Amino acid sequence: DGGITQSPKYLFRKEGQNVTLSCEQNLNHDAMYWYRQDPGQGLRLIYYSQIVNDFQKGDIAEGYSVSREKKESFPLTVTSAQKNPTAFYLCASSVQGRGGNSPLHFGNGTRLTVT
């Protein structure tokens, strides 16, 4: 079955360390996204990519970085510059990134805890 795989499900890091969250999709979708979810805040867009080797900042990109070297993969690095990195991170994909009418398919998330 096609889908989005996020790994690991739980991740623990010490403050000051960079950490990379994995996101892989086998849906052959062009566009991929990273969202951050905090209680009561809904989903906030970190970065998105509409095509390989291209990506755009979302609403809360500071302290995060991404790469899109392959269509299937869109890893997110949480750097030490992110002041409050503890959160639930969701990766998503869609058939296309333009038009606004392509539903998002989500992975099951990674819960990152930084102490």
Partner 1 sequence: AQSVTQPDIHITVSEGASLELRCNYSYGATPYLFWYVQSPGQGLQLLLKYFSGDTLVQGIKGFEAEFKRSQSSFNLRKPSVHWSDAAEYFCAVGFYGGSQGNLIFGKGTKLSVKP
Q: Across 9-82, where does the E strand assignment appear?
A: 10-13, 19-25, 31-38, 42-51, 54-57, 64-66, 76-78
| 105 touching partner 1, by CB under 8 A | yes
What is the distance between the alpha carbons of residues 23 and 110, in angstroms, rounded to a whole number? 10
Q: Kindly tell me which residue out of 8, 12, 98, 113 binds partner 1, with binding defined by CB under 8 A.
A: 98
| 106 touching partner 1, by CB under 8 A | yes
| 71 touching partner 1, by CB under 8 A | no
| 101 touching partner 1, by CB under 8 A | yes
The DSSP call for residue 102 is: S
List interacting residues with partner 1 (CB under 8 A).
4, 6, 31, 33, 40-43, 45, 48, 50, 56, 58, 90, 92, 94, 96-109, 111
